[in-house]
Structure 1
């Protein structure tokens, strides 16, 4: 794999991120320790260095498995990202949320499970609608100054909150969020309304979770396979099946797997994007890693864009209509300059 800069930083990460939510067998599914080790070996051997986990994935087992792996490997080679916010114990009222107290406690617990002195990227996992964003950024900046984390990032948070946060950070001289993690795939494009334009404006890298829509975009449901997604899920409705049929058709044209098509659609959107690829089997990961060896044509991208198109709503659709009506804003400004 090649390496990309993560947001407005000098941090070099591989072009696919390894999602480790499935490391551990709690809840009746996932990869045990040996398989998880084999997955990380295969990822590292392919040039991968960017690992994504969270304090509460598999009740902390994901972090513990990564920590055991790091004990026998080069810690500095890997860029390790974890998260705080969601409840990881029931000891006290502040064992969840975005507040400073929970952040400090969560980071200390994550460092122990990960068996490391520092976390490369710390994400706020999900916005709690309670904690002031300046409290979050000030606390993250303090952790950066203490050397316990290297970079700040944010996930599953409204665009206006992230924008306010990065603006405050720039004003106050605090470390800004360099990455934004959101759901984004051919089946879930609503992030294009506000979140992705905001990320582009601030130079943030988008790290989509569920870029394969829980496996729906691999065509497994058309093949009659079962999974953890319920039959009534939107990922299995008529629109989703139509999108997946297009993915399957393009995959057949290229002679590649459906996952290559779905993942490359996110990677070729014209903004900094590093999809998170989860795996609970080594062959599953190896197939997904081959994504970097293909490129979708402009015509194929257009077919996928058309079949998965969403309404941007106001003001996005209004801007688009005005651009068409006036033969683009650029043409209007050209006339202004001539005067």
Structure 2
């Protein structure tokens, strides 16, 4: 498996990241530990969890699995969501961050976290307070690097500016939703990350299961897509455009003798700016299928077809700004690497 630098840092991570949200829930503890061991054996070193996954159970299982190989693992977790009923039991205030990191370290059975991420922006807490607290965690050695997740472009840029102004450590990565059926970050976030050298580690890279090819046009009766609300709900996924994308994925999968999941993930591996898609699995069979996304390169013709069918429509201000490109000057092609 290829290794990539994570954003502006010197930290090397595998091109696939193993997500652990199902660990202790739909994935048993033995299977969870088996997945981590198989992932590491095949060259993977990047694991992502969060303090709220299965009420902390995911972190506990990850801690058990990596106990004897901690130094070779890049371990990422998150803070922000509600973990206690009292008024300070959520957010990214200094208090909740400091409480949260100690709880995560205990569950993970480690004395440091490689990548500590703000799960969601907190409108109630000044970003200056959050960044100072994170800077102190890095200075203390409890955290090595910091990142964020689910931010808007202006929120990420403001956080970077606050760190620059105050000489705090900066976010080196962002974890957004991104896939062939969810390319909203192309509007602003992708170009910002390329400009500021922020690594992108997408969640839901196969659309919450939509791009596995297991579903037709009838609503499923099980799985994440059955949710009434949420980013992976059937109501959001079941659009004419997304079904056209799925048809293209299935056709290319047949042409390349790959699974639809492998095709969807491999498209992301070639997308400029993407560091490591985060894939999850409820079963060992799903894990093995997703691991098959690495180690091969999709031909340009098929890659471009998927890029075209999934591309966002030209919108303001982008279509307006295109009129003002300077004649005779070209910009680097940021569509592929």
Is this a same-fold pair by TM over 0.5? Answer: yes
**Cα deviation, residue 223, structure 1:** 9.0
Quick one: distance in 1 between partners of 2:272 and 2:75?
A: 25
Out of 165, 169, 173, the residue aligned to residue 171 of structure 1 is 165
1:78 and 2:78 matched:
no
Runs ≥4 in structure 1, deviation > 6 angstroms? none
CA contact (8 A) 1:141 1:174 kept: yes
Taking only aligned residues, the RMSD between alpha carbons, in angstroms, comes to 1.7
Once the 2 structures are TM-superposed, how far is the Cα of residue 143 of structure 1 from its aligned partner? Answer: 0.2
Alignment-derived partner of residue 331 in structure 1: 328
Q: CA deviation at 1:263?
A: 0.8
Deviations 1:275-300 (A, max 9, x none): 00111212211221121122122221
Structure 1 unmatched runs, 5+: 334-339
Residue 61, structure 1, aligned to residue 63, structure 2: no
Q: 1:232 and 1:319, CA in 2 relative to 1: closer, same or farther beyond 3 A?
A: same
In the alignment, which residue of structure 2 is the partner of 1:107? 101
Shift of 1:314: 2.1
Displacement of 1:313 in angstroms is 2.7
Matched with 1:38 is 34
Deviation at residue 237 of structure 1 after TM alignment: 2.5
Give secondary structure in 2 for the equivalent of 1:291.
Answer: coil
The worse-fitting range, judged by mean Cα deviation, of 280-289 and 78-87 is 280-289
Contact 1:23/1:33 (CA < 8 Å) preserved in 2?
yes
- Distance in 1 (CA, whole Å) between partners of 2:24 and 2:134 is 28
Distance verdict in 2 for CA 1:232–1:288, change over 3 Å? closer
Instruction: Return closer, same or farther for 1:314/1:270 CA change in 2, 3 Å cut-off.
Output: same
1:133-152 equivalence runs, <5 A: 133-152=127-146
SS at match of 1:60: helix
User: How many residues were matched structurally?
Assistant: 322
What is the match of residue 18 of structure 2? 18
Is 2:273 aligned against 1:271? yes
After TM superposition, the structure 1 = structure 2 runs for residues 93-132 of structure 1, keeping only pairs within 5 Å, are 93-132=87-126
Gaps in structure 2 of 5+ consecutive residues: 227-232, 331-337
State the 1:3 CA deviation.
1.1
Bigger Cα Rg: 1
Q: Residue 187 of structure 2 aligns with which residue?
A: 193
